[in-house]
Structures are given as structure tokens and as C-alpha cells.
């Protein structure tokens, strides 16, 4: 199983998780030049921009560590573009999910709401 397949399993799992939490998935793999957001989901209060990191057990770098400040800036830039193209009145939120996968099976998910914010960046929502 290659990394793209593992990533797809993780994203599918997180989508199911979010739906069970009352979210509607509005977009997957939203791309602009220089950025991508894995999942964009909404509920009555928030528009959640979700970065999914799928890992094998005992990976050297956790999924959360992989979403460093550089990656956060790219996601925020992409989210700003999405909100410009799809105006809404929801509060934006940046979440990160780490999914542990072995043999094509999801072993665990760790989901952090509001994992980071736009503090110190010049983006308007």
C-alpha cells in the first residue's frame, strides 16, 4: 500500500468522523497554486479547514508535527482563497487530524479542533 492510498483511507475516515459529529463535507482536496486543503466541512457555527495526516504505527514524525508553521501558512492562504470564492458568515477554524493506519485498517484517530490560528498573518476572512 503506497502513501497516496494510505492518505485516501485517512481522509475518508476523517470525513466519516466529521459527518458523525454533525458536519457537512463541502469540499475535498481544494487546491490553489501553492496550497491544498484536505477537507472543508461546515456545521451551524464553523467552517473547518482540516489537514489530515495519515501515518503508520511508530512513525518518526507525528502527523501533528508535520503540520509546521510553513504548512499552516499555506493552508491559511488556501482557506482565504476558498472564503473569497465562496463567501459565508461562518467562523473559520483550522483543525488537524492524525490517523494511524496499518494494513489498510484504521487503528486510531486523534483530532484537534482549532489546532492553530491566523495570529501574526495578514489574511482576512
Dump pLDDT digits (tens) for 45-60.
Answer: 999 999 999 999 988 9
For residue range 14-43, list pLDDT tens digits in order: 999 999 999 999 999 999 998 999 999 999
Cβ proximity of 94 and 72 under 8 Å: yes
In 10 A of CB 72, how many CB atoms?
18
Residue 114 φ then ψ, to 5°: 55, 50
Closest C-alpha among 109, 110, 125, 111 to residue 75: 125
Domains of the chain by start residue, with CATH: 3-116 (3.40.1350.10)
Sheet of strand 35-42, all strands in order from the earlier edge strand to the far edge: 24-32, 35-42, 46-55, 91-102, 105-116
Amino acid at each position: 500500500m503506497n502513501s497516496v492510498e494510505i492518505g485516501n483511507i485517512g481522509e475518508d475516515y476523517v470525513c466519516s468522523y466529521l459527518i458523525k459529529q454533525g458536519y457537512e463535507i463541502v469540499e475535498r482536496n481544494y487546491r490553489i497554486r501553492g496550497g491544498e486543503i484536505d477537507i472543508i466541512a461546515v456545521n451551524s457555527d464553523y467552517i473547518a479547514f482540516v489537514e489530515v495526516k495519515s501515518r503508520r504505527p511508530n512513525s518518526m514524525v507525528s502527523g501533528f508535527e508535520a503540520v509546521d508553521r510553513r504548512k499552516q501558512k499555506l493552508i491559511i492562504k488556501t482557506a482565504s482563497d476558498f472564503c473569497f470564492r465562496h463567501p459565508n458568515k461562518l467562523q473559520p477554524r483550522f483543525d488537524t487530524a492524525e490517523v494511524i493506519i496499518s494494513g489498510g485498517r484504521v487503528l486510531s484517530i486523534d483530532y484537534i479542533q482549532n489546532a492553530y490560528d491566523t495570529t501574526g498573518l495578514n489574511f482576512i476572512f
